[in-house]
Structure 1
Amino acid sequence: MSHVEPDEEDRAATVPDLELLREVSRRVLWLSAAIVDAANRGRPGDGTKVGGHQASSASMVDVMVALWFHQLTALDRVSVKPHASPVLHAVNYLLGDLDAAYLPTLRAKGGLQSYPSRSKDPDPVDFSTGSVGIGATATLWAAIAHRYLRSRFADAPPAGRFISLLGDAELDEGAIWEAVADPQVASLGELLWVVDLNRQSLDRVVPDIQIQRLQAMFDAAGWQVVTLKWGRLISALFQRPGGDLLRERLESMPNEEYQRMLRVDSSEVAERIMGDDGPPELQTLLQSLPTPHLAAAVRDLGGHDLGLLVDTFESIDDHRPTVVFAYTVKGRGLPTEGHPNNHSVLLNEAQMRALADATGADLEDPWAPFPEGSPAAALAVRRQRELARRPVGLTGELDVPDSLGRPYRKDVSTQTALGRLLADLVRDAPGLATRVVTCSPDVASSTNLGGWINKTGVWSVTERRDWFADDAQRILRWSESLSGQHIELGIAEVNLVGLLGELGATWSRWGERLIPIATLYDPFLNRALEPWSFGLYAGGQSILVGTPSGVTLSPEGGAHQSVTTPSIGIEQPGCTAWEPAFAQDLEWCFLHAMKQVGVPGGTSAYFRLSTRPVDPTLARVPEDDLMRERRRRQAVGGGYRITAHAPADEDVVLVGAGAVMPEVLAAARTLEEQGVVAGVVCLTSADLVFRSFQQRGSRGTGEGSGILDLLLPPAYPAPVVTVVDGHPHTLAFLGGARGDRIRCLGVSQFGQSSDLADAYALHGIDAFSIVEAALDLLGR
């Protein structure tokens, strides 16, 4: 881990002025509340709620001020909890990294996003958050991605700490614990999580946060656990006579009772603490304290003590990951402080004026910066300079060939073809191969990554001895080191796509292009769907391979047969979905997809592959170089026509994708024997063909924009039968291409264990069912 260290003569300047930090904290509190207020009271509306989270922001203000105005370096990266986005924007504004014109634009078109967004916010945002738990774990995967970069490329830029600021309710998310439990994480000393422990969720005061259980879970995973429960003001009271009783009373008090105490008049606080039978020593202590002092002391939690926060962040052991549980008050400093229903409550005008008075702000001039020449202004200028980052350069041009020229003569599955392609890259395109990193959730061998792993090795955070190196019978050489190019995770698809997203963001974070490729069993794509989608939203570019897919994996039974994934691929923004049938198509399309990854304006890809061996000659790939190139361009455009019939002569068109193409072609031959001319269209990407369908008649242009007219020429309508090993509605849009009558065949029921022929017949995607559908459309 690398940090920016100040020069020795500048160290004195870094000693925090706590009163100055408190002044900054008051201004950040005001701005974060005013940003939400302007979006609601200050903006003409149409009756739709704008919303925002003033209380959730308030509890995080002091933690973020301690970081941005003292602790962070330019090399650090921070993920901010979703509901604290106004605090992030307030901090960026005070540091000069956000124009004041944006402050009233929260949740407006072209303005500040509802939750921090790397790609859509106008100010610096390190990690997109908003999907609870996923933004928090992103720092973990970013730390691994950066370590991978530094181990592979000596000139990769350094990094500092990877920090997550997360709400305590996020710890309910399973994604958190899947990530924490990964064995590699215990070595990530650059990882710091700060939990905003305000003990309130969206609807209520949490009855029992079970902090001991959470502490034990992190500790068991190898993390350093730090708990900041009380600030120094009240801790001093604990040292006085009767202070041990005060501490015991407060720490045994249920969360609800504590929160209620924050809502009463300060004159009632001592009585609330005493309860019905408080001991005399406690009463003596309470009576000795001025009422304002006691009211302030009971609010003095560790997450609001700026001096304690600064000291804690500076003293963290950087040899293992650290979690800091920072006790806070939800709504700290607001009129809604501690209210059980303050999560989405908005301050009214009178309350905003009261807050302005308390923080030294002005509701009529809410965006006033620090006075010029003031210590606060000088601090902001200095911190902006210290946090300024060097512009990110980009990896030079990477030569990605259109084809590797491998001949495909024997029956081979697309899954096997992918394994061979990756292994061939090391020899045929070594420059490209160095930028490829693969990962999988304990299914590397069963998804055919063995050849690649044998050539490139397995990457690990630390070097590990290979105890099977002398085993002559070993086929897969599982040698773990810092020089490997495959990262293996446990059986946790959420972790897989989390890492994939961050590996796919290194080009924009540090200017180092990677081409991350992840393999998982296709039916388990649904497990990872939300974090995968969120990673794409956050700007990660990668290739996800789902294999094996569909009922084609017949003996495995219904639990391993994916049905909805073809349409998921079509519907996923920021990604192109592919389902090639033949090995040659897979090679062309995969290399094409690799060109799009890790570049400005690039896109991710999802490949749905199969373990079914398919005869490559069925594709009828032209031998002539020019016609072969034409076929390649059609394949990467979304599809091609296999049969040589003129469209004008066709009675029916059979359209297939993926592993069912042998059945489609067999059906065409049977129809020909019955005197029916059947054209055959092989789709490599229903996604691109659908885009072509959408672009018809529009002024826009895009990838695959003309392919549909080539596949289904408008001048020659004919009935269409579509076939896919997935839900039949995947290709139903083709009925609108020319207004043809259409029959869509596919899988709409759960499968069962069987052989391939029985599986296809059971779901009506066998050759006989295709023939029958075609004849039905023709009235034969």
Structure 2
Amino acid sequence: MPVQSSVDTTLAEIERRVLWLSTAIVHHANRVRPSVSGLKVGGHQASSASIASIMTSLWFRHLGPDDRVSVKPHASPVLHAINYLLGELDERYLTTLREFGGLQSYPSRAKDPDPVDYATGSVGIGATAPIWGALARRYLASRAPGVGTGRQYSLLGDAELDEGACWEAILDPQIAELGEVVWIVDVNRQSLDRVVPNLVAHRLQGMFTAAGWQVITLKYGRLLTELFERPGGADLRDRIDTMPNPEYQRLIRCDADELRRRLPSGSESIAALIADLDDTTLVAAIRNLGGHDLEALDEAYSAIDDTRPTVVLAYTIKGHGLPTAGHPQNHSALLTAEQYAELADALGTDVDAPWATFAPDSAAAMLCAEAAKRLRRQDFPQAPAFPVPTDIGRTPAGTGTTQQALGRTLLDLTRAAPEVAGRIVTVCPDVSSSTNLGGWVNKVGVWAATERPDWFADDGETILHWREKPTGQHVELGIAETNLVGLIGELGATWSRWGQPLLPIGVLYDPFVQRALEPWSFGMYAGGQSILIGTPSGVTLAPEGGAHQSITTPSIGLEQPGCVSYEPAFAIDTEWTLLASLAALGKPDGHSAYLRLSTRPVDQTLAAVPTDPAARERRRRQVVAGAYPLRRHENPKVTIATMGAMVPEALAAADRLAEQGVGADVVCVTSPGLLFAANQARLGRAEGPSWILDQVFPADRATPLVTVLDGHPHTLAFLATIRRVPSIPLGVSGFGQSGDLADVYRYHGIDTDSVVAAALDLLH
């Protein structure tokens, strides 16, 4: 066998310590720290052991300061162990895994006390984040020099490749150009419950190759590779290559005598080959996979060519180095106290001093210090603040839609506030023209890593000009909403990574917002600040029918942390709320926003925008705060609170009620979430302003309340609690049908007749 160099010996010593620390972190949380509630704390010793070698080699031999790594969720103890050895984590945190205020269950960029590049924990989302991080860095580099050119690594388990988000990201056409993307797949052939029976590596190899990726397969270590060169070695390799995954996993659990019986499977050449091996070597050989061989890992990392994305398929054993290695139920298994003590003896550590570091003058300590110095990142100064205008000054007239107002506001910004407009980047999943972004795209161009010819530039019938260049400000993705929110999340994190804020706006069809909500939510948890715009919304796109309606999206702002939602009724409301949302991006106390827009044409004069500058500013502040009084009756008997596209029905109902001698106030709600927060603040249950409630729902105008919106009625139902008045909430709570708008509104009970009837029911 080859003799290990001193560097390899030192790295192997660090590898053993990383394995020990990651195991001890989970052990302490479950076996040592008292449990007040009696609930299982959890943690993943086997999943951590599976990837300990991969991460040790990467951090202590290959990473540079500009590189960033997404670590699979269940390997968070390994990341903390490495950060501890690098001096980036205080010892006191090693005993706090899953403790309140301590180390998080999974790597958290926002909540962990040590460096975490990407938050993970939601399957498939953390794995794909480095792809969008690479794209965000490239976009920013075309505008702000000095953001580095480091690789973006993703460490994931093979079972995570079952998640469709992985393949949606891999297959986007732009990704094949991102040579800095590297995925390292921990191929341990196990999921949470079982050994995966039909995981065939060559299938994965073919899929990645077809997507334009470099594929490096790291299957066997040096010991097995050397045995394959001996007589009978070819048969041994073929035997291991062709056996089912569960059979191989069973061999890992065998002692030498069992291996001599099971492994040959009738092959005399294999029996003769292993007959010459001592028991220790034979047991070690069957476990000698490439993902645990430091030399093989070194060669694999050195082979990455950076001209295209790379995937390293590194074969490993789940629980490698632990007594639970290879057992199909080891996913959440914890070592017993006896096993823990035996592991300490095997790794040369002490259960009574689990957090001991290397002797200061040892080779391992010096290698840790060298790695820490190499990985130290520069601090990026925060870019100077740039003011976002609050009001461009336009007063729309005629008939228009809030979707049209989106495109108009973006174009207006290029003239009124070019510095702000220059930081905006819009992203669409192949719906730019159908969401009224055509004018913006024509103005700013489409972003691409390299300039591409516009073959239709001289076509007189072409309206949407597709000029692709590194200076473009619109990114067009394929039809995959998960990719969209993944990218805007990373574009919205550049302020915290490089000190340069971008203002990302993702635009998609509102019915698909829920498909994107979970990964977008995780992006917000990780610190990404962005604007998501859903349009067209609700049932107002009546001929499209029930398949293209969004019922629950209006309540996103009530329920989603880190996000303020708006549903503007008029073009001017769209402008004001969009500007307020842009102003909230790219800073430590910032937040994301969701705008729900409509394609229903509405008479803009119904907005009754005040002409007096002070009154106009008062209206703007109310719009941004969540609601404004659209019509006040001198003697109101009922209040109609409405939102978005339903304003015409609410106003028509107020007119009808007036004809019957029933005065009605009409309140236009722009943000249920902000009103709910204001009410919580008024009750002393949250921090924040509550002035908007007194201006819109004053106590002296408290009357029975009808709420109506193009969405689920529960969204506005809480408004009745502000003044504790009787109410009837109207909205959409069932799947729709195709038809004319009047027919559809009547079907759902949100038409003018329904509003009038609800008001009269409340009064009589």
Same fold (TM over 0.5): yes
Tell me which residue corresponds to 1:457: 445
Tell me which residue corresponds to 1:706: 691
Change (3 A) 1:672 1:544: same
- 1:209-248 matches, cutoff 5 A: 209-248=199-238
Consecutive unaligned residues of structure 2, counting only runs of 5 or more, are none
Tell me which residue corresponds to 1:688: 674
Whether the 8 Å CA contact 1:438–1:486 is kept in 2: the answer is: yes
- Partners of 1:587 and 1:61 lie apart in 2 by 51
Tell me which residue corresponds to 1:180: 170
What is the aligned counterpart of 1:206 among 196, 200, 206? 196
- Partners of 2:202 and 2:371 lie apart in 1 by 37
Deviation of 1:271 (Å): 2.3
Whether the 8 Å CA contact 2:557–2:671 is kept in 1: the answer is: no
- Partners of 1:755 and 1:201 lie apart in 2 by 50
- Partners of 1:701 and 1:301 lie apart in 2 by 55
What is the aligned counterpart of 1:734 among 707, 714, 719? 719
What letter is aligned with 1:489?
A: L
Tell me which residue corresponds to 1:748: 733
Deviates more, 1:565-574 or 1:119-128: 565-574
Deviation of 1:266 (Å): 3.0
- 1:327-346 matches, cutoff 5 A: 327-346=315-334
Tell me which residue corresponds to 1:697: 683
Whether the 8 Å CA contact 1:413–1:582 is kept in 2: the answer is: yes
What is the aligned counterpart of 1:120 among 104, 107, 111? 111
What letter is aligned with 1:72?
A: L
Tell me which residue corresponds to 2:267: 278
What is the aligned counterpart of 2:131 among 140, 153, 156? 140
- Partners of 1:659 and 1:492 lie apart in 2 by 27
Are 2:182 and 1:197 aligned?
no
Tell me which residue corresponds to 1:679: 665
- 1:29-108 matches, cutoff 5 A: 29-45=19-35, 46-108=37-99
Whether the 8 Å CA contact 1:695–1:705 is kept in 2: the answer is: yes
Are 2:654 and 1:668 aligned?
yes
What letter is aligned with 2:660?
A: Q
Change (3 A) 1:574 1:333: same
Are 2:746 and 1:761 aligned?
yes
Tell me which residue corresponds to 1:306: 294
Tell me the alpha carbon deviations over residues 311-363 of structure 1, each in whole angstroms, 9 at most, x when there is no partner. 21112111000001000000000010111100000001001001101111111
What letter is aligned with 1:695?
A: A
- 1:547-562 matches, cutoff 5 A: 547-562=535-550
Deviation of 1:613 (Å): 1.5
Consecutive unaligned residues of structure 1, counting only runs of 5 or more, are 1-14
- Partners of 2:617 and 2:534 lie apart in 1 by 27
Deviation of 1:715 (Å): 4.2
- Partners of 1:425 and 1:626 lie apart in 2 by 23
Deviation of 1:285 (Å): 1.5
Tell me which residue corresponds to 2:511: 523
Tell me which residue corresponds to 2:758: 773
Tell me which residue corresponds to 2:567: 579
Tell me the alpha carbon deviations over residues 541-578 of structure 1, each in whole angstroms, 9 at most, x when there is no partner. 00000000001111111111111111133211110010
Partner of 2:142: helix, strand, or coil? helix
Deviation of 1:117 (Å): 0.5
- Partners of 2:187 and 2:30 lie apart in 1 by 27
Whether the 8 Å CA contact 1:79–1:126 is kept in 2: the answer is: yes
- Partners of 1:95 and 1:529 lie apart in 2 by 36
What letter is aligned with 1:369?
A: T
- Partners of 2:633 and 2:377 lie apart in 1 by 60
Tell me which residue corresponds to 2:402: 414
- 1:276-425 matches, cutoff 5 A: 277-279=266-268, 281-425=269-413
Deviation of 1:699 (Å): 6.8
Change (3 A) 1:690 1:611: same
What letter is aligned with 2:287?
A: R
What letter is aligned with 2:100?
A: K
Q: Which runs of 4+ in 1 moved over 6 A?
A: none
- Partners of 1:672 and 1:215 lie apart in 2 by 71
What is the aligned counterpart of 1:626 among 575, 593, 614? 614
Are 2:585 and 1:597 aligned?
yes
Deviation of 1:260 (Å): 1.2
- 1:622-661 matches, cutoff 5 A: 622-645=610-633, 649-661=635-647
Tell me the alpha carbon deviations over residues 512-562 of structure 1, each in whole angstroms, 9 at most, x when there is no partner. 110000100000111112111111111110000000000111111111111
Partner of 1:274: helix, strand, or coil? coil
Deviates more, 1:544-553 or 1:568-577: 568-577
- Partners of 2:385 and 2:95 lie apart in 1 by 41
Whether the 8 Å CA contact 1:16–1:70 is kept in 2: the answer is: no
Partner of 2:760: helix, strand, or coil? helix
Whether the 8 Å CA contact 2:677–2:686 is kept in 1: the answer is: no
Partner of 1:606: helix, strand, or coil? strand
Deviation of 1:152 (Å): 2.5
Deviation of 1:27 (Å): 0.3
Deviation of 1:16 (Å): 8.1
What letter is aligned with 1:86?
A: P
Deviation of 1:21 (Å): 0.8
Whether the 8 Å CA contact 1:714–1:737 is kept in 2: the answer is: no
Deviation of 1:644 (Å): 3.2
- 1:536-555 matches, cutoff 5 A: 536-555=524-543
Tell me the alpha carbon deviations over residues 38-93 of structure 1, each in whole angstroms, 9 at most, x when there is no partner. 11011111211100000000000000000111100000000000000000000000
Tell me which residue corresponds to 1:492: 480
Tell me the alpha carbon deviations over residues 218-256 of structure 1, each in whole angstroms, 9 at most, x when there is no partner. 100000111101011110111111111111122222211
Partner of 2:94: helix, strand, or coil? helix
Deviation of 1:700 (Å): 4.3
What letter is aligned with 2:184?
A: V
TM-score computed with the length of structure 2 as normaliser = 0.98
- Partners of 1:705 and 1:27 lie apart in 2 by 54
Whether the 8 Å CA contact 1:149–1:156 is kept in 2: the answer is: no
Tell me the alpha carbon deviations over residues 359-410 of structure 1, each in whole angstroms, 9 at most, x when there is no partner. 1111111111111211111111111111011113212111210111112111
Deviation of 1:268 (Å): 2.8
Deviates more, 1:523-532 or 1:321-330: 523-532
- Partners of 2:279 and 2:630 lie apart in 1 by 86
TM-score computed with the length of structure 1 as normaliser = 0.96
Deviation of 1:752 (Å): 1.0
Tell me which residue corresponds to 2:255: 265
- Partners of 2:362 and 2:714 lie apart in 1 by 65
Whether the 8 Å CA contact 1:156–1:512 is kept in 2: the answer is: no
Whether the 8 Å CA contact 2:632–2:664 is kept in 1: the answer is: no
Deviation of 1:756 (Å): 1.1
Partner of 1:166: helix, strand, or coil? strand
- Aligned pair count reads 759
Are 2:461 and 1:473 aligned?
yes
What letter is aligned with 2:64?
A: T
| Percent of pairs with identical residues | 61
- Partners of 1:221 and 1:321 lie apart in 2 by 9
Whether the 8 Å CA contact 1:68–1:383 is kept in 2: the answer is: yes
- Partners of 1:80 and 1:219 lie apart in 2 by 23
Partner of 1:59: helix, strand, or coil? helix
Root mean square deviation, CA, Å: 1.2
Partner of 2:69: helix, strand, or coil? strand
